[in-house]
Structure 1
Amino acid sequence: MELLVASAIGILTAAGLYLVQRLRTFPVIIGVSLLTYAVNVFLFASGRLTIGAPPILSDAQTYTDPLPQALVLTAIVISFGMTAVVVMIALGAYLGADDDHVNDPAESGDTDPEAAK
């Protein structure tokens, strides 16, 4: 079980990093989302992966730590809101410039960002 979860975290992180390095806005947004999913799974797995155990600290012999679960729920809400904000910013940039290509001044050979205006 731990090997499966660790592999899933590694695959999500690798795919997220690959997509973040693209020069289009949509793959960057998807890459950041994959990275947040990887962090959420990592936080959730840090609270011990036990099946059928209550998430409380009581007299029970086996329990699951409730703190990572609360952190993951909070992170899901925050990442959903931030993804919505980034999508709206990217959509505004696309509608303003008719292109979703990320401008890189070093790639075009021009190092002065004011000269691009």
Structure 2
Amino acid sequence: MEVHMIILTGVLVTVAVYLLLSRNMIRMILGTAVLSHAVHLLLITMGGAAEGHVPLLGESDGPYVDALPQALILTAIVISFATTAFLLVLAYRTYEETGTDDLNYLRRVRRE
């Protein structure tokens, strides 16, 4: 199962890098969102979510799952969602002001 998760993480990183290398601002924002989700998936896989039982004492004997990586990833998901929402609003305002979301055009406008 972990091998499949790592392969999926690799595919997500590949898609994110492809989107980040685009000239379109919306694609770049989606690329950062996909990259953050790939990192979350990698961290949860490396944290060993598939092994052990729920960390409630007295429920079961044996190895327990560490809850710290899951709590940190939940916090990171909320932060990445807020960052993505902020970047989308910023891209929308830029599009309203300039009429385009092409980054090469926006670089030329700034120089002039």
Please give the range of the TM-score, normalised by the shorter of the 2 chains. Answer: 0.7 to 0.9
Alignment of 1:28 with 2:28, yes or no, is yes
TM-score, L = length of structure 1: 0.83
State the number of aligned residues: 111
Q: Deviations over 1:77-116 (max 9, x none)?
A: 000000010001000101100000002799x7xxxx97x3
SS of structure 2 residue aligned to 1:103: helix
2:68 counterpart residue number? 67
SS of structure 2 residue aligned to 1:80: helix
Alignment of 1:2 with 2:2, yes or no, is yes
Query: Closer, same or farther in 2 for the Cα pair 1:75/1:100, shift >3 Å?
Result: same
Query: Closer, same or farther in 2 for the Cα pair 1:62/1:52, shift >3 Å?
Result: closer
Q: Displaced runs of 4+ in structure 1, greater than 3 A?
A: 55-60
Q: CA deviation at 1:72?
A: 0.6
- For residues 35 and 10 of structure 1, the distance between their equivalents in structure 2, rounded to whole angstroms, comes to 10
Q: CA deviation at 1:3?
A: 1.1
SS of structure 2 residue aligned to 1:90: helix
The answer for unaligned runs of 5 or more in structure 2 is none
Q: Which amino acid aligns with 1:24?
A: N
- For residues 106 and 82 of structure 2, the distance between their equivalents in structure 1, rounded to whole angstroms, comes to 30
Q: Which amino acid aligns with 2:55?
A: P
Structure whose residues are more often helix by fraction: 2
Q: Is this contact kept in 1: 2:52–2:62, CA < 8 A?
A: no
Identity of counterpart residues, as a percentage?
A: 33
Query: Closer, same or farther in 2 for the Cα pair 1:65/1:52, shift >3 Å?
Result: closer
Q: Equivalences for 1:46-57 in 2 at 5 Å?
A: 46-50=46-50, 53-55=53-55
- For residues 90 and 29 of structure 2, the distance between their equivalents in structure 1, rounded to whole angstroms, comes to 11
- For residues 13 and 57 of structure 2, the distance between their equivalents in structure 1, rounded to whole angstroms, comes to 32
Q: Is this contact kept in 2: 1:57–1:63, CA < 8 A?
A: no
Q: Which amino acid aligns with 2:78?
A: V
Q: Is this contact kept in 1: 2:12–2:35, CA < 8 A?
A: yes
2:40 counterpart residue number? 40
Q: CA deviation at 1:45?
A: 1.2
